[in-house]
Amino acid sequence: MNVLVTGGVGFIGSHVCERLLTAGHTVCALDDLNDFYDPAIKQNTLRELQARAESFAFVHADITQRAELDEVLGSMPFDQIIHLAARAGVRPSLEQPALYQRVNVEGTVNLLEAAHARGIKKITIASSSSVYGVNSSVPFSETDPIFSAISPYAASKLACEALGHVYHHVYGMDVCMLRFFTVYGPRQRPDLAIHKFARLMHAGQTITVFGDGSTSRDYTYVDDTVDGILACTDREFGYEVINLGESQTVKLSRLIELLESALGIEAQIDRQPLQPGDVPITYANIDKAQRLLGYDPQTKIEDGIPRFVDWFRQQNP
């Protein structure tokens, strides 16, 4: 199978590429290598992927440029697309809302249009638990109302879900929207809490904690998320929206305790008020994923944090 993975040298995308290559597929990773974080990180990941298999190809391209996508999709007869490329993060989206709409919404339209033009019927697209907003019903279910986004990032992902349905309805494309819940693990983006906290604690610096530590997240180990993504590539759905979480919640204070234990370092904490756009809890109902994908997350946070720290120490001896 020939698979295009957009955002293919990012955190989740690189793990998807590795798993596809291991399964014997031909993979083309598309990424614009932007400066949201140090591009050298992605360059290192790219070298690892290139060394892994001859069936891996990389294309430097920007999903906001339709002509570039047309060229990429015309270079190989792709069977499927896994669309992970996006501007990520709630807080940065508050500072650059237009950029988030351009990349996430217009970029997704460009990809759907280019795929339709080439007759590519199956596409798996990354959405986010942020679409649930401040949801009073927990755990979050795919049938919950989702019309109260509280960040530009969340709004952009809601728009992508609507666009996916349009291209299924109008053109018969097989589209699966996957709502990710706080993915972590090796290669996690340096701006995300677990990686940022580990880096600062390792350097003996203070970590900034917004709120009293009671906010809770459904932290999902990257291997479990990739299991769900790849299960989508083996099935046809028409159009579906599916949660991919661990279906357990962990308070921020507990997360810090686990990092302290794994690193052997006591955190120095600077407490600040909660930030706009943050939600008090994320918590996935994964019944649908279990039923449709055979999804069965295996890695509890007590095991996942030490695994992340092992990788972190290798990168930061």
Q: Where are the domains of the chain?
A: 2-315
Sign of the Cα torsion 186, 190, 193, 197 reads positive
Residues in CB range of 134: below 8 A, 6 or more apart? 148, 150, 279, 280
Counting Cβ atoms within 10 Å, is residue 201 exposed (0-12), middle (13-18) or buried (19+)? buried
Beta bridge partners of 220: 183
Beta bridge partners of 281: 216
Q: Which DSSP state fits 101?
A: I
- Catalytic residue list contains 153: yes
Residue with structure tokens 């006591």? 266
Catalytic residue selected from 100, 153, 184, 219: 153
| pLDDT score at 49 | 96
The Cα-based distances of 53 to 42, 107, 178, 310 in angstroms read: 17, 28, 27, 25
Q: What are phi and psi of 172, to 5 degrees?
A: 75, 20
| pLDDT score at 16 | 98
Closest CA to 263 of 211, 179, 207, 218: 207
CB distance 297 to 219 below 8 Å: no
Sign of the Cα torsion 190, 154, 228, 305 reads positive
| pLDDT score at 163 | 98
- Per-residue model confidence as pLDDT tens for the chain (317 residues): 999 999 999 999 999 999 999 999 999 999 999 988 889 999 999 999 999 889 999 999 999 999 999 999 999 999 999 999 999 988 899 999 999 999 999 999 999 999 999 999 999 999 999 999 888 788 999 999 887 888 999 999 999 999 999 999 999 999 999 999 999 999 999 999 999 999 999 999 999 999 888 999 999 999 999 999 999 999 999 999 999 999 999 999 999 999 999 999 999 999 999 887 778 889 999 999 999 999 999 999 999 999 999 999 999 87
CB distance 228 to 289 below 8 Å: yes
Q: Which CATH number fits domain 2-315: 3.40.50.720, 3.40.50.1220, 3.40.50.300, 3.40.50.970?
A: 3.40.50.720
Q: How far apart are CA 247 and CA 231, in angstroms?
A: 18
